[in-house]
Chains A and B, each alone.
Chain A
């Protein structure tokens, strides 16, 4: 991915974009195709999925069989570069020594950010999700409705390519006809789960993921995305034609060299660069948003990590899309006489109401899946089916001990073995020789791990602030996290455990672990799903929110927040699709205002 040095930067850009992931990538794509000159700052190095992706590498070709290590938390082939739970030279701190009140922060320091390794799960928020307070009296309403965002969901899905089906389920929006790509066939574990789900009342349907199950229609989609802009249509069509359809091999988390899945580096940035309107500076560690005497943002001050020097880029507008935690950090570190508590923080809400996804998992061993004939189940390299939240009616009748819902993710049961034992060792204890091989073959593929992904209600105990003492290698003050689950989340994971145990039993299987008696023993730590959202929420009132419905900060009219920091709630639906939809929506506003001379 081509980059420039600060010496090559223009004197002033229309827009400075901090971050190159889902939000920053979408922003750069939309603005540059509309003719705006943009400079993107990426804290990590450049990255080329075409040459750097380990598409067919085997465990016997990787150190430790590809097993995870502190250097590569999600395994050797995970696409994340220079990132993980700990980033060298870039610490963060905790407000508590209680492990239940600590936050784990995943960062990716690379071009494209987390979009290179993400799960590709692309779910729309539903109507209830934008008005959660109105629905059940908890949390806060967004200042926008599903209808405001739906046209952007349509456009993002057409651009990135999302497979799936329309099921007409409550609060699980359908896409317009012709938008979704065909769903992949269900795997054997999917079908067993689906059959069991029917017995216990849990629907299992095709999941929506950003994987091309067939090539995008480059002849018609660009005109729908950019009506009246033939130049943009041609660039987008060329970019779409450079993407191949999935060839049903290699896990998506490694990245995708054939561009069959959405990554910012394969979908957003190539056409944005093709316009000639985008300059990218890599290894640019943003420290603060600069502000002029008129109270408007004038650009971004960053540390060039290759030289250690402070540098500045100027723009008529600034977009922060650095990830929720990093955007909060930049806002709070941007102190001036006008903004002594950090830029755009007159409400005092910057850093507040951080949320993550509520998650747990349960594994079952299913005799019906033992000793199956060998067959290929690689599929799309991720989940093929899932269960959208199904119990709205039970909740309305007061039958559940928690609010909001969770969806269920069903992984492949016959994924590529290697690195670790492909069968739980408790099933092989004491075996050796041919009996061991026979047992391994018998049990391989017979384990199903169901995973819940649920909604957290925002609470005042979950927030990020600037540590008063600790700074990173470049002297930038770091984030200190505060975290606390409430009974809502703890009860939710206990419900998921009970549901999964019933499903495994309905499969004729056995749960492989002792059931937990406390939600704390089940729930994954805060931040562990890598869905940290909030911290600069949007709202109707400048007194209790940081930005308005356009992702525009109340206090600084030319400063926009286009990652998940602006999220008012965190529905069970994975955040990436909504980040892109809101970023595109915000970009349209910036284009309008720019045309009027207001930016």
Chain B
């Protein structure tokens, strides 16, 4: 486990090498890799990691988003989960690092998501350039929100907007998994727990009354 404050990142060149190797592995199968330089392929945490440890993105495999991608992810995540009366913005809860960790992970589900997320980021820039003549992360919050509204409001009207809508759906799901896995996120969604208690008294009377049930376990 790394202990430094900054997440473990690698160069774009190294990233390209990795995923080219991974793509070759997928096509050739494991034996096809034997004669190649596969040493740089990232590893997972294995079947016996120290599960009681405290980790942060980058501890098990390097993060692979480049500066521009990370900036876009941060801007978009904060539009999706902004600071408001429910809690802080996504970036304050390290949601962008979680997204980076997710799309950098060497597992099939995450590599599959990477193939949707990274082109989605490109698509957001294309839409932004088309409408405003600048990259998405350079938009104002109002402009960015307006573009999101257009994507989700008219997603079926064009292939490009529909694809952007599908990307937003997947991206939002990732952000929610990260945001609501934090103490601030728990407060925002209404989860209370993960703390030792002397007794478990069941739902409070106010909750029972709201739902219209009575406690049956005495």
Interface residues of A (CB under 8 A from B): 45, 51-67, 69-72, 76-79, 81-84, 87-88, 183-188, 191-192, 194-195, 206, 247-250, 254, 368-369, 372-380, 384, 414, 416-423, 425, 428-434, 436-438, 440-441, 444-445
Contacts and interface: CB of A to CB of B under 8 A. Distances in A.
Interface string B158-170: 0000000100110
A194 B52 contact: no
Given A188-B211, A191-B211, A192-B213, A82 B190 contact: no
B193 interface: yes
B190 A372 contact: yes
Given A418-B178, A422-B177, 6 more contacts: A69-B44, A184-B202, A418-B181, A421-B172, A437-B84, A441-B190
A194 to B, nearest CB: 6
Contact of A422 (B50, B176, B194): B176
27 contacts: A52-B50, A58-B181, A58-B182, A60-B181, A61-B56, A69-B105, A71-B49, A76-B49, A82-B47, A187-B202, A187-B203, A248-B196, A249-B196, A254-B51, A373-B206, A375-B204, A375-B207, A416-B191, A418-B177, A421-B180, A428-B172, A430-B153, A432-B81, A432-B145, A432-B152, A441-B188, A441-B189
A422 B193 CA distance: 15
Contacts of B107: 69-71
Interface stretch (B6-14, B94-102, B118-126): B94-102
A244 B197 CA distance: 13
A384 B200 CA distance: 12
B110 A64 contact: yes
Contacts of B55: 61-63
B30 interface: no
A377 B148 CA distance: 36
Nearest to B197: A248
Nearest to A254: B51
Residue among B87, B195, B200 with max Cβ neighbours from chain A (10 Å): B200
A55 B86 CA distance: 27
- 8 closest Cβ contacts across the A-B interface? A418-B181, A59-B181, A185-B202, A247-B196, A430-B152, A374-B190, A378-B193, A191-B213
B200 A444 contact: no
B127 interface: no
A417 B191 contact: yes
Contact of B207 (A372, A418, A423): A372
Given A61-B55, A369-B211, A417-B191, A67 B152 contact: no
Contacts of A61: 54-56
B182 A418 contact: yes
Contacts of B190: 372-374, 414, 441, 444-445
A368 B210 CA distance: 8
Contacts of B109: 69
B186 A425 contact: no
B138 interface: no
B63 to A, nearest CB: 12
Residue among B84, B190, B210 with max Cβ neighbours from chain A (10 Å): B190
A378 B216 CA distance: 18
A55 B54 CA distance: 12
B38 interface: no
A440 B176 contact: yes
B203 A377 contact: yes
B183 interface: yes
Contact of B177 (A54, A67, A83): A67
B54 A57 contact: yes
A440 B49 CA distance: 32
A71 B202 CA distance: 36
B173 to A, nearest CB: 5
A378 to B, nearest CB: 4
A434 B148 CA distance: 14
Nearest to A213: B200
A56 B81 CA distance: 26
B215 A185 contact: yes
Contacts of A82: 47-48
Given A70-B108, A185-B215, A249-B197, A372 B210 contact: yes
A61 B60 CA distance: 12
B114 to A, nearest CB: 13
A186 B105 contact: no
Given A71-B45, A423-B176, A60 B93 contact: yes
B79 A432 contact: yes
Given A63-B101, A192-B213, A375 B192 contact: yes
B139 interface: no
Given A377-B203, A432-B79, A441-B189, A418 B180 contact: yes
A421 B177 CA distance: 4
A384 B47 CA distance: 31
Contacts of B5: none
A290 B46 CA distance: 34
Contact of A184 (B94, B185, B217): B217
Contacts of A378: 193-194, 200
Contact of B208 (A63, A87, A188, A434): A188
A86 to B, nearest CB: 9
Nearest to B213: A191
A52 B185 contact: no
Interface string B32-73: 000000000000111111111011110110000000000000
B199 interface: yes
A432 B94 CA distance: 18
B217 A432 contact: no
Interface in B111-167: 145, 148, 152-153, 155, 165
Given A185-B202, A375-B204, A191 B172 contact: no
Nearest to A61: B54
Contact of B48 (A81, A373, A444): A81
A420 B177 CA distance: 4
Contacts of A53: 52
B28 interface: no
Contacts of A194: 213, 216
A356 to B, nearest CB: 23
Contacts of A84: 47
A71 B44 contact: yes
A64 B105 contact: yes
B4 interface: no
Nearest to B153: A430
Contacts of B212: 368
A417 B155 CA distance: 29
B135 to A, nearest CB: 19
A416 B210 CA distance: 22
A414 B180 CA distance: 13
A54 B52 contact: yes
A241 B198 CA distance: 18
B207 A185 contact: no
A186 B17 CA distance: 54
B189 A440 contact: yes
Contacts of B182: 58-60, 418
A311 B210 CA distance: 65
A79 B108 CA distance: 22
A417 B175 CA distance: 12
A416 B148 CA distance: 29
